[in-house]
Chain A
Amino acid sequence: MKRLVVMLLLAAAPLAAQDYRLRLDARVQSVSFRGVALDSILAGAAVADSVGSLYTPDGFAVVCLPGEAYCTYFRPGPTLVGAPLVTTVGGSVWGFGVRGLSAHGTARFGADLSSDDAWPGTDPAVQLVEGYVQYAAERVTAKAGRQIVYSRLGTTGFDGANVTWRVPRQHVNVAGYLGWGLARGVALPVTSPALNPLDDFQPQQRQIIAGLDADWTARLGEARLLYQREVDPQARKFVSERVAVSGSVRPAAGWTVSGGAEYDMAAGWWGSADLSVGYATRTITGVLEGRRYRPHFDLWTIWGAFSPVPYHSLRGSVSVRPSRPVQVHARGEVYRFDPAEVSAPLVPYETDGYRAELGATVDPKPGWTIDAGYTREFGPGAASVGGGGSITYAPTRQTRVTLYGQAHNRPLEFRYSESALRVLGFDGGTDLNDRVRLSLGAMRYAEERRRPDAAEFDWTQWRLTAGITWLLARGGDLENLPPAVRRMPGGRNGGER
């Protein structure tokens, strides 16, 4: 340990001559909402209404399983208060004396400041999202440490090494990676206790992940091929084995054809796939896409054996700017699930659905943006009908305030619930200077749960948010917050219009 401390101290001197960029993004929120409490009654005490539905004597609908002595239900519980504080720190350091050598890291600190401990995602309090050392030369880039690979197969995190070899003349990149994997969608290993309720089936060791990723870029398009496998080192069996192919072509100015598919070699079936044709100019954009979606489950769960069925959809979107301050957009999708091959006459369920949206954005005066839209979604499990709008005022490039509101009706298919939602809120932010940005928000989330029983309580809540983004940096290459972060082209937040 002493040796390590001495080494760190020795390393501190040259560090003083290095350049760095550190971004700190902290947000705190306060939420208060009605909790629920699981309760039960003796099966014999449940009373049936005229159509046979069962209730408690005081009017709560209950679920009674055949042969069980008790029926269960949820009743309104005490008010819970959540106060999550989430801080993300991301940084890069370079200038170690070796050209192309740099270190990068992103970590998240999360805690619920309230005594109710009501907020998800705050355990464990510290999560390392990424942390790696990179050496980049003209032909090769090598990374070692915790990193994330983004691909058609989703975001894959692992602790290990990743080497990319470039062949500039042929515009080909070939990458290979190997390491100990993280769980999907979270910066934690599958062995983490925070991923309960895995319980009995939680692996005892982290999976070993290996992948090969090749892409080719040409003047008219790109193509990419990816193979990835995950192996449980304890059982020496596959956790997953998938291959994905994707490509895009730009046959003419403004036109893009893109598509891809993934094949699950472990399950022996095709996963998700899509093919789209897009057209984009400065005044009109349109996309027509056919796609198929099938979820992927790792083989240390049993869910893949339940044969999830895919759905196929056709969707399109169009956005037109008839005049400079006005943009009208519409989108729609219809989808249908493949036959589930289940005989369940007692539970009718939807097998197809649609989504549709119509909206417009208007910039009536410099600094002002008005946006409004109407959506309808109907499908298995849930539906939503309603609309929303926002008014944004940005008097300067540094300051922006948005007032927004939404109203939705949200019926569920398998539950006595048709929520009526009314959301009203504002978000504001200002750049104090090139390095510090402050944000503030408040939202009134009024949810009235319409049910035919006594569990008809409202879930109304206030959400207050405050945040600060602070950029610390040294080095000649930084004068502002990275413009790409502040102004993502076409992005929803402050995107260039």
Chain B
Amino acid sequence: MIGLLLVTSLVQAPDSGGFDHLKHKALFPSCTTCHGGAETKGASLWPTESSCVACHDGKIEKAVAWRPRTTPRRSNLRFDHIQHRVAGKARPAPCAACHTEAGEPRMAVRPPVVGRCLDCHGIRTAHLAAADSTCTTCHVPLVRAVALTRSDVARFPAPPSHEDPRWPGREGHGAVARGTLTTNCATCHAQEFCYQCHAGGTPPRAIAALASDSRSTALAAHRAPASHGANFADRHAALAATGTASCSSCHIRSDCLECHRATAANAPGYHVAGFLSRHPAAAYARETSCSDCHSERSFCAACHQQSGLVAERGLRTGFHDGNRFFSAGHGGAARQSLESCVSCHSERDCLPCHSAVGGRRYNPHGPGFDAERLRRKNIQMCTVCHGTAVPGG
């Protein structure tokens, strides 16, 4: 999932480091007295220690601890004071235009007020609700915000657009990603974020255009689309059979194999816990297609053998003891649940009776049997019972 997450003050530089600007307003008629770097290239943006100690020497005023910042700001703001000043030469904005709320007195300094940035730049929405194309006005891509930590990235707030139920689909984030050529997505995201979901196929061009940055996985990409609703695992089969391309945009193959594999000693996956206890009722009438994942020949028969359910010596075993005539009248039950029969019996159990060349010669063919077609497709199957004298052959 690609999204646009706009960074707020959470990751901006800390405010005034405890310095009460308002209290000192009489002392400093100009902001650049202390913050020369906002005006002069090469100068520090922060006052030196000695600037404070001049008054706060422990005698005149109590001593204070102040160390100017030496590390880069943990921020993804594109803002540069001097460049901003140059760019706005015709109508330079005073410091207070960004660092105070409208109507507040001078020196009521606070971190940059996002709303005032938006006002100046003509963005008439709430910060996070701004159009997707406007993020890059103020923010650099995540990959260039090198000072941000994973924890910082993890605290990126999601804009309202991401809460739309359609957002996880291609008509949601997909359309935005394609439409904006990922430049805005890159504000908060990088390839690795997308690969949390887009790992099942060739990545879309929009993802390939993103840079690589492992910090991006600090944001969890997964959220089930609204179409999944509750208990989707129980009813995804028809959709998955049709739209594997759609599935693979969010799921990787191992998602499927997590449940769709017949692994002895595995924890409950596809089947609910305790399914073993009621599997006969589900299997006899094939609640689902068991043979898609389980081979009756090996998986079922091997276990049934341990339970005394396999015909080890033809039909002469003691399983169907509920009706003493079962062997003589099993035909209807067998046609209904032939896969269940096969999980215990092999062909040789049936051929002594159902063969045209020996035994009792009971005809096993029933409704829908197309002798001509089957002979054409694979006559070998016919010869098992009919020998070389296949009717019509």
Chain B residue with minimal CB distance to A390?
A: B273
Residues 237 to 270 of chain B near chain A (Cβ within 8 Å): 238-246, 250-252, 254-269
B322 touches A414 (CB 8 A): yes
Chain A residue with minimal CB distance to B208?
A: A138
**Chain B positions within 8 Å of A194 at CB level:** 298
Q: How would residues 212 to 223 of chain A score, 1 for a CB under 8 Å from any chain B CB and 0 otherwise?
A: 000101010011
A62 touches B321 (CB 8 A): yes
Q: How far is the CB of A441 from chain B (nearest CB, A)?
A: 7
Q: State which of B232, B325, B373, B374 has its C-beta within 8 Å of the C-beta of A347.
A: B325
Q: State which of B199, B244, B278, B332 has its C-beta within 8 Å of the C-beta of A150.
A: B244
- Alpha-carbon distance between A53 and B321 when the two chains are bound, in angstroms: 9
- Alpha-carbon distance between A307 and B374 when the two chains are bound, in angstroms: 12
- Alpha-carbon distance between A335 and B336 when the two chains are bound, in angstroms: 12
- Alpha-carbon distance between A215 and B242 when the two chains are bound, in angstroms: 8
Q: How far is the CB of B188 from chain A (nearest CB, A)?
A: 16
A185 touches B262 (CB 8 A): yes
**Chain A positions within 8 Å of B243 at CB level:** 215, 217, 222, 224, 248
**Contact A154 to B299, CB < 8 A, known contacts A84-B265, A301-B347, A345-B329:** no
Q: How far is the CB of A301 from chain B (nearest CB, A)?
A: 7
Interface centre among A138, A412, A484, A495 (most CB of B within 10 A): A484
Q: How far is the CB of B337 from chain A (nearest CB, A)?
A: 6
Indicate if B226 sits at the interface (CB-CB under 8 A). yes
B380 touches A237 (CB 8 A): yes
A307 touches B377 (CB 8 A): no
Chain B residue with minimal CB distance to A173?
A: B245
Q: How would residues 283 to 298 of chain B score, 1 for a CB under 8 Å from any chain A CB and 0 otherwise?
A: 1111101011111111
B322 touches A413 (CB 8 A): yes
Q: How would residues 470 to 488 of chain A score, 1 for a CB under 8 Å from any chain B CB and 0 otherwise?
A: 0000001111101111011
- Alpha-carbon distance between A453 and B324 when the two chains are bound, in angstroms: 14
A154 touches B224 (CB 8 A): no
**Contact A427 to B268, CB < 8 A, known contacts A293-B286, A306-B334, A414-B322:** yes
**Chain A positions within 8 Å of B255 at CB level:** 484-485, 488
**20 additional contacts (CB under 8 A) given A478-B214, A484-B197:** A27-B265, A52-B324, A61-B318, A155-B293, A199-B347, A223-B242, A232-B378, A235-B380, A238-B378, A267-B373, A282-B226, A299-B374, A307-B365, A317-B234, A347-B323, A402-B273, A479-B214, A483-B221, A490-B230, A490-B231
Q: State which of A106, A119, A196, A272 has its C-beta within 8 Å of the C-beta of B257.
A: A106
**Contact A415 to B226, CB < 8 A, known contacts A28-B265, A90-B257:** no
Interface size class of B (residues with CB under 8 A): 35 or more
Indicate if A63 sits at the interface (CB-CB under 8 A). yes
Indicate if B212 sits at the interface (CB-CB under 8 A). yes
- Alpha-carbon distance between A482 and B220 when the two chains are bound, in angstroms: 10
**Chain B positions within 8 Å of A223 at CB level:** 242
B230 touches A27 (CB 8 A): no
Residues 186 to 213 of chain B near chain A (Cβ within 8 Å): 191-192, 195-197, 199, 201-202, 205, 212-213
Indicate if B368 sits at the interface (CB-CB under 8 A). yes
Chain A residue with minimal CB distance to B301?
A: A197
Indicate if A445 sits at the interface (CB-CB under 8 A). yes
**Chain B positions within 8 Å of A84 at CB level:** 264-265
Q: State which of A110, A248, A311, A487 has its C-beta within 8 Å of the C-beta of B264.
A: A110
**Chain B positions within 8 Å of A307 at CB level:** 335, 364-369
Residues 230 to 281 of chain A near chain B (Cβ within 8 Å): 232, 235, 237-239, 241, 246-248, 250, 254, 256, 258-260, 266-269, 272, 274, 276, 278, 280-281
Indicate if A96 sits at the interface (CB-CB under 8 A). no
Binds A, one of B18-26, B37-45, B125-133, B338-346: B338-346
B278 touches A36 (CB 8 A): no
Interface centre among B224, B234, B381 (most CB of A within 10 A): B381
**Chain A positions within 8 Å of B292 at CB level:** 154-155, 184-185
Indicate if A54 sits at the interface (CB-CB under 8 A). yes
**Chain B positions within 8 Å of A137 at CB level:** 202
Residues 370 to 393 of chain B near chain A (Cβ within 8 Å): 370, 373-374, 377-382, 384-385
CB-based closest 5 A-B pairs: A489-B224, A120-B302, A307-B366, A490-B232, A36-B308
**Chain A positions within 8 Å of B369 at CB level:** 305, 307
Indicate if B348 sits at the interface (CB-CB under 8 A). yes
A414 touches B196 (CB 8 A): no
Indicate if A32 sits at the interface (CB-CB under 8 A). no
Chain A residue with minimal CB distance to B192?
A: A477
Q: State which of B233, B251, B280, B302 has its C-beta within 8 Å of the C-beta of A484.
A: B251
Q: State which of B235, B305, B379 has its C-beta within 8 Å of the C-beta of A278.
A: B235
Q: How far is the CB of B22 from chain A (nearest CB, A)?
A: 42
Q: How far is the CB of A185 from chain B (nearest CB, A)?
A: 4
**Contact A27 to B266, CB < 8 A, known contacts A185-B291, A381-B337:** yes
- Jot down 5 A-B pairs with beta carbons below 8 A, ordered by A: A85-B265, A302-B347, A304-B381, A487-B222, A488-B258
Indicate if A128 sits at the interface (CB-CB under 8 A). no
